[in-house]
Amino acid sequence: MNPNMQSTPNAPSVKQVPLLTASQIAQFKRDGFLVLPAVLDPELCRRARDAMWDAIATHLPRMKRDDPSTWGPLTEEESTELKAQRPEVGGDPYFAGSDHRFYVRNGAEQFMLDLAPRALWQVAEQLLGEGTVVWPAGEDDAGITTGPCFMCDDAVGGLSTHLGKEIEKWPEKGSFTTEEALRLPKTGPVWLNGQGTRGLYCTLPNSPSPGPEYRGAHSDGACYGRWRLQMSAYIDDLPPNSGGFTVWPGSHSRIWRDQWDAFLEGEKHTDKHLADRKSGGYNDPVIQRIKVDTQPFDCHGPAGTVVLWHTKILHMAGQNQSTDVIRQATIYGFLKTPASLPDPLVVDNTNGDIWRDWSDEVRAING
Ligand SMILES: [Fe+2]
């Protein structure tokens, strides 16, 4: 038995999203994303919506569930007050936001993991390889999560942003090695050690246009690291143009190639001293070219819809042009285990093969 399998005792207990067909895999390889409409458990989606409204009732009670006219943007005063409520153990406030965006940091709770990452477990293993994916165990009884994290500069930066005063323990620069058992409080950046989703990322109605430049479009983090497959899942119906996860089809392979070229030339994702960064995330030359030559796609769908995406795809949260829909998404990145992807391979993709760390099944299908 593969020793990695012992960390996945819960996998069979959660109803699984069906395996992908060969043509779905081909589509995923070509476009860098795939929409699976209404595949998640409706009961868990309902529970997640209730949890969101419970959080709103506690932290932003002027918003009423049955009255969309109360779903206006957060004022500066509201944002400041919410931001100040960091838990004692470190981590982000449970509920916070600004303008038209708010979040609920419940991503390491067991039901949120059952809802999406664990329901997609067999699909994640189908795509990344059986026994090669970090199991999202979530928070323990003390509210702490433990999992592996590749400590590159931007991971360390994420710790600093999302842990608050706890950061005093961490160095400023990354070691570029894997910390096998990084412990993070449940509202901390639990996506870094693979133990939680980002919780709920929500966009209120009538959000402003990102403009013709699509301000905010980016590719997550660096090319080096343990993420390959990510997912966004909607816990409520999401009509078109209502803030859906927006992607630029085919951008994953172009960004992957350019970022690895830049990294192998000595550039790090976080090199702020460079005037023209090739792997900066928001304004890479390749990203400018993609915005000019590719039409973005708005991933919408009924409650329980999942978007699977290659971790390097250019994306953003779309503009919510509706008047009575809150875009409610939970986002998770599946990590390759240290055993299946040792550190020397994490920082080496010299053969340029974007599908090197994916399953034989994925590698064999022509995208
Ligand atoms: Fe992102």
Q: Which helix (H) or strand (E) holds 128?
A: helix 121-128
Question: 205, 320 in Cβ contact below 8 A?
Answer: yes
| In a domain? residue 17 | no
Q: From the CA of 67, how far away is ligand 1's center (Å)? A: 30
| pLDDT given for residue 6 in this prediction | 43
Which residues in the chain show pLDDT less than 70? 1-12, 165-172
Q: From the CA of 346, how far away is ligand 1's center (Å)? A: 20
| In a domain? residue 8 | no
| Cα–Cα distance, 173 to 154 (Å, whole number) | 9
Q: From the CA of 6, how far away is ligand 1's center (Å)? A: 31
| In a domain? residue 51 | yes
Q: From the CA of 66, how far away is ligand 1's center (Å)? A: 30
Q: From the CA of 189, how far away is ligand 1's center (Å)? A: 14
Q: From the CA of 213, how far away is ligand 1's center (Å)? A: 17
Q: 108: Cβ–Cβ under 8 A, 6 or more apart, which residues?
A: 138, 139, 145, 186, 187, 190, 195, 196, 197
Question: 194, 205 in Cβ contact below 8 A?
Answer: no
Q: From the CA of 311, how far away is ligand 1's center (Å)? A: 9
Q: From the CA of 144, how far away is ligand 1's center (Å)? A: 24
| pLDDT given for residue 264 in this prediction | 87
Q: From the CA of 316, how far away is ligand 1's center (Å)? A: 6
| pLDDT given for residue 115 in this prediction | 97
Number of domains in the chain: 1
Q: From the CA of 216, how far away is ligand 1's center (Å)? A: 9
Q: From the CA of 272, how far away is ligand 1's center (Å)? A: 19
> What is the per-residue pLDDT across 2-61, written as a single tens digit (0 to 9) for each?
444 444 555 668 999 999 999 999 999 999 999 999 999 999 999 999 999 999 999 999
| In a domain? residue 354 | yes
Question: Residue 207 is part of which domain span?
Answer: 22-364
Q: From the CA of 63, how far away is ligand 1's center (Å)? A: 27
| In a domain? residue 7 | no
Q: From the CA of 251, how far away is ligand 1's center (Å)? A: 14
Q: From the CA of 269, how far away is ligand 1's center (Å)? A: 14
| Cα–Cα distance, 153 to 9 (Å, whole number) | 33
Q: From the CA of 323, how far away is ligand 1's center (Å)? A: 25
| pLDDT given for residue 10 in this prediction | 52
Which tokens go with 147? 């999992």
- CATH code of the domain containing 314: 2.60.120
| pLDDT given for residue 277 in this prediction | 76
Angle at 113 between CA 112 and CA 114, to 5 degrees: 90
Q: From the CA of 218, how far away is ligand 1's center (Å)? A: 6
Question: 148, 179 in Cβ contact below 8 A?
Answer: yes
Q: From the CA of 217, how far away is ligand 1's center (Å)? A: 8
